[in-house]
Amino acid sequence: MDIDKLFKVPKLPVGSNKRKMPDNPTPEMLKKMKLDVPPQRDQRPEESGVGAAAFKGKSRRATVQTEDEDEVDTDFAPGGDADYFIEEDDEGRFFGGGLTLEQKDILNIFDNAGDEGAQHDPDELSITAIRRFLLRFERAANKNQDQRSKYPDDPSKFIDSEADLDSAIKALLPLAQVPIVAYPELVRSGAVSLLIGLLSHENADIVIDVVEVIHELTDEDVGNEGEQDEEEEGQTQAALKVLVDALLENSVLELLVDNLSRLKETEEADRQGVFHILGVFENVLGLNPELSTLLVAKTKIMQWLLNRIQSKNHDENRGYAAELLSILLQDNVSNRMELGKNDGVESILKVLSQFRRRDPADADETEFMENVFDALCSALSEREIKSLFLASEGVDLMVLMMKENRQSKSRTVKTLDYAMSGTSGTDICENFVEALGLKTLFSAFMGKSTKKHKTNGAPPASEDTSHILGIISSLFTNLPSDSPSRIRLLAKFVENNYEKIDKLLEIRENANTRLKAVNAEIELEKNELNAEGEEIGPEEEDMWYIRRVDGGLFTLQNVDYILAWTAMEDDGIRGHAAQMLNRKNLSVKDIIETMRMHHQNMDNDEQNSSTSDETSQRAPSQREILANLIVFLEGC
């Protein structure tokens, strides 16, 4: 390889008037190069040896001193590097930065912009700086409004003021880092009302900027949470509440919902705007869940969410819409009724039907599916929603999805448990049996698959088992005596030599083992409290009872409830169950003890569950059933 050719300075095109350097300049020749630089700031032109007139007219360029003092133009520097002949070392070698003048100017602009951004450091945001930002924002908004009103048909007249307004809005983002100082000032100065007013701005980009600012200001993590003590965190939450109250007073919810239909999600900026609007709703509801009623009652958010989740193409905003819908329906009767009025049950079932024959494509779509199922389960706590679910053939769809044995299977079991519970679930229980749901249900209960290509024998998940037991309990509670549906249910426990009874006893043993461990922990805590002389009150007792319920008592109660029903209605089942219990040194008395505890704590169960008119009607009937079952078992 010829090193000289590799590092040869490129020749200029033929015909150029620029002077050429030799192909291989000698070190002596390079050392003669020097740069004409201006004198130092504190040095007069006369002192530098250069005349004032000469200094004023000269530019910063390199020259070559030859024997005849001819000047050499150096514009040929490789790549047009502006500093090729400036960046030299002590030996006269030249490297340069590889950048043209234009490229260096661009970098300087970014450097200057970075220096300007440094002034937004949260540590430097004093009340004076905050007021300066708010004043700049107010002036920019007023100027833009004035320009638009004067020249409504000439955008060239107000485009500059719009750019200034855009910059002023974005400058408010750092205020989220100092909420204790900034938020009260935001409200006091009237900037909140001015900011909300811009949600009706003609330029959608300005609206998106405002939405982004509101989303940032209402985030639950405003301020430096990791560095705050409890007092500062309390002050932050108080400041955030002041801001949210001011936003609500200026009808922020209504204006944000109006903009949901205005923004076109085919554009990236608009898609981000929709995402931030949904984020504002989540932030506000996280601060005050009671606002969910106001959001649904005062706006058309329910219909928009239902339409959005029906989109065929899945994206982040579709998933966010499903999550927000689930939040709005949690523990809120009025919102659930509004869902029914907007044909929400039908819409949700249409969305879920797409997962009958396919699994979600990825984790995001899986979360979307789960949120839609959760929304439906919350709504099914109401009698009216159960009627709509039955009319929309929701039971048939759930049974079909169970048979497919896909990822949605667990969620369909949970949905059926919610739908069939309570006295208002009687029609759904009968429809479930008519839809041939018993076969699929008990296949899942026994850990068997209804699909030949699936692996058999895998035990169901613990959550699935809990919901399956809930469905069976509801069937025994709601199906009329001596009805064909009830006879078919009872036959399932007789077939295959009482294998379903054996499975129940196996589940009972596992639940009882877990419950014993929890009881041991509770007894230890009681002994510690007694040793310290502290009194054990009703609150502690309720807390311990809830721990027992989660630690296996709930499963134990459901199993014994089912065993009691089957034992009362079939002598063969009663004899087989007694025989199997005896092998484990147990008897029917153990079942009676569990049911008696359940009967005694029935009032506690009512208080700890979500209340509605339906559940309050169901509780006395359940107590009567338990009492009658206990009497029967005691007489055996």
Residue 610 carries which side chain, given as an amino acid letter? S
Please indicate, yes or no, whether residues 400 and 369 belong to a single structural domain of this protein: no
Please indicate, yes or no, whether residues 432 and 493 belong to a single structural domain of this protein: no
CA-closest candidate to residue 189, choices 243, 135, 142: 135
Which pLDDT score is estimated for 154? 84
CB atoms within 10 A of CB 548: 19
Q: Is 47 inside any structural domain?
A: no
Please indicate, yes or no, whether residues 393 and 344 belong to a single structural domain of this protein: no
Please indicate, yes or no, whether residues 418 and 539 belong to a single structural domain of this protein: no
Which pLDDT score is estimated for 112? 55
CB atoms within 10 A of CB 454: 12
Give the helix ranges, DSSP H, for 153-267.
Answer: 155-170, 179-189, 191-197, 204-217, 230-249, 252-262
Burial state string for 224-262 with b = 16 or more CB within 10 A and e = fewer than 16: eeeeeeeeeeeebbebbebbbebbeebebbebbbebbee
- Tell me how long the chain is: 636
Q: Is 447 inside any structural domain?
A: yes
Please indicate, yes or no, whether residues 372 and 338 belong to a single structural domain of this protein: yes
Give ∠ CA 465-467-472 in degrees, rounded to 5: 95
DSSP string, 263-289: S-TTSHHHHHHHHHHHHHHHHHHHH-T
Across 550-607, the runs of DSSP E, i.e. the strands, are: none
End-of-domain residue from the set 379, 410, 435: 379
Residue 456 carries which side chain, given as an amino acid letter? N
d(CA 414, CA 464): 7
| Number of independent structural domains in the chain | 4
End-of-domain residue from the set 479, 508, 537: 479
Residue 35's SS3 state is strand
Q: Which two tokens stand for residue 519?
A: 């009881």
Please indicate, yes or no, whether residues 258 and 134 belong to a single structural domain of this protein: yes
Rounded to the nearest 10 degrees, what angle do helices 333-341 and 344-353 cross at? 80
Which pLDDT score is estimated for 534? 84
Residue 272 carries which side chain, given as an amino acid letter? Q
Q: Is 25 inside any structural domain?
A: no
Q: Is 572 inside any structural domain?
A: yes
- Domain hosting 308: range is 289-379
Which pLDDT score is estimated for 242? 94
d(CA 535, CA 538): 10
Q: Is 94 inside any structural domain?
A: no
pTM of the model: 0.76
Mean pLDDT by 10 residues, the chain (636 residues): 47 42 50 44 41 39 44 50 52 54 63 48 74 94 91 84 93 92 94 95 94 94 68 88 95 96 92 96 94 95 97 94 96 96 96 94 95 97 96 96 92 96 93 95 82 43 86 95 93 94 95 93 89 84 90 94 94 94 92 90 51 42 86 86
Q: Is 525 inside any structural domain?
A: yes
Please indicate, yes or no, whether residues 580 and 458 belong to a single structural domain of this protein: no
d(CA 339, CA 270): 27
d(CA 290, CA 283): 13
- Please provide residue 415's backbone torsions phi and psi, each rounded to the nearest 5 degrees: -60, -45
End-of-domain residue from the set 479, 499, 531: 479
484 within 8 A of 430, measured Cβ to Cβ: no
Please indicate, yes or no, whether residues 256 and 307 belong to a single structural domain of this protein: no
Please indicate, yes or no, whether residues 374 and 391 belong to a single structural domain of this protein: no
CA-closest candidate to residue 343, choices 401, 389, 393: 389
Please indicate, yes or no, whether residues 264 and 135 belong to a single structural domain of this protein: yes
Q: Is 82 inside any structural domain?
A: no
Please indicate, yes or no, whether residues 325 and 347 belong to a single structural domain of this protein: yes
Q: Which two tokens stand for residue 53?
A: 């007139």
Q: Is 347 inside any structural domain?
A: yes
631 beta partners: none
Please indicate, yes or no, whether residues 504 and 410 belong to a single structural domain of this protein: no
DSSP string, 365-389: HHHHHHHHHHHHHHHTTSHHHHHHH
